[in-house]
């Protein structure tokens, strides 16, 4: 089993991992709070949330298996070399667990809050059914030969594909509505920060080991970070450049006269003090 060559880089790696965990974890709360305050989920793509649950579940399966299973780790070292470090940290497992729970809670909010005319598309439902059906087939294929590393790499590939697929409905909904109202700004700003932190974390590991094998060994995490960064930049452009929030103008104060009697003191005062002109 490989070890760290630099204490400083090890500390940096772990700090970046927990920064990424914090950003990606906290990033789910602004949307939950926004939904609660508005008592509405209008503007939030339901396809985005449903596809996110599939993505997060696949990511959790991959991380938990590679982090906890000695059988999977043995196959990893057989493939990439016994001198390589396992490219999954405890913060990856913690993030996957929290994300699944948070996404499930947002689905619960969708069920109880005002939805307007929005609904989950048949395309999204079909994608989810197809993905899990394919995953089930892969499980039966892996069982006879105990190809566990191959199997979890399938789940890693699923989470990468679902990351691309899940962001697309929200970006398209923003485009159709010409607005980002209902989609929390804090969510994708924190998501962007988490993506940057996790990508830098993988880079630090590669520098310490003087090898880029860990990028190949956990390409899913690298692609997840890059895809998240890309779409978060798209959402920022939509929010600040294409469809900035327009605040309603504040109307000037108006004097409302309820009845004619309220004018009489003013008229009487004016008549008692006529204007005079001095020549």
What residues have CB less than 8 Å from 96, skipping those under 6 apart? 56, 59, 60, 63, 64
Q: In this predicted structure, what is the pLDDT of residue 248?
A: 46
Domain boundaries, given as residue ranges, for the chain = 7-241
Percent of the chain with pLDDT over 70: 87
Flag whether pLDDT at 53 surpasses 50.
Answer: yes
Q: How far is CA 201 from CA 21, 50, 164, 189, 232, in A?
A: 11, 28, 21, 19, 19
Determine the average pLDDT of the residues in 32-50. 91
**pLDDT digit string (tens) for 149-165?**
999 999 999 999 998 88
Determine the average pLDDT of the residues in 257-270. 51
Flag whether pLDDT at 265 surpasses 90.
Answer: no
Flag whether pLDDT at 67 surpasses 50.
Answer: yes
Flag whether pLDDT at 222 surpasses 80.
Answer: yes
- Between 16-20, 62-66, 210-214, 219-223, the lowest mean confidence (pLDDT) is in 210-214
């Amino acid at each position: 089993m490989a070890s760290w060559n630099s204490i400083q880089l090890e500390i940096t790696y772990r700090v970046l991992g927990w920064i990424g965990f914090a950003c990606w974890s906290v990033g789910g709360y602004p949307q939950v709070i926004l939904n609660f305050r508005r008592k509405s989920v209008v503007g939030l793509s339901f396809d985005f949330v449903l596809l996110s649950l599939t993505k997060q579940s696949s990511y959790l399966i991959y991380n938990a298996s590679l982090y906890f299973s000695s059988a999977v780790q043995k196959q990893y070292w057989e493939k990439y070399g016994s001198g390589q470090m396992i490219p999954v940290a405890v913060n990856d497992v913690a993030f996957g667990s929290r994300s699944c729970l948070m996404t499930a809670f947002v689905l619960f909010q969708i069920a109880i809050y005002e939805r307007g005319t929005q609904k989950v598309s048949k395309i999204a439902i079909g994608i989810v059914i197809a993905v899990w059906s394919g995953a089930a087939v892969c499980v039966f294929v892996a069982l006879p030969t105990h190809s566990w590393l191959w199997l979890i790499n399938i789940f890693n590939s699923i989470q990468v594909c679902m990351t691309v697929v899940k962001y697309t409905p929200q970006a398209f909904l923003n485009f159709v509505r010409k607005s980002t109202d209902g989609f929390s700004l804090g969510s994708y700003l924190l998501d962007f920060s988490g993506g940057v932190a996790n990508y830098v974390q993988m880079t630090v590991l590669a520098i310490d080991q003087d090898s880029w094998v860990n990028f190949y060994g956990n390409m899913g995490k690298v692609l997840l970070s890059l895809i998240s960064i890309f779409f978060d930049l798209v959402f920022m452009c939509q929010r600040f450049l294409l469809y900035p929030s327009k605040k309603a103008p504040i109307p000037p104060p108006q004097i409302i006269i309820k009845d004619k009697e309220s004018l009489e003191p003013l008229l009487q005062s004016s008549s008692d003090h006529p204007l005079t002109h001095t020549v």
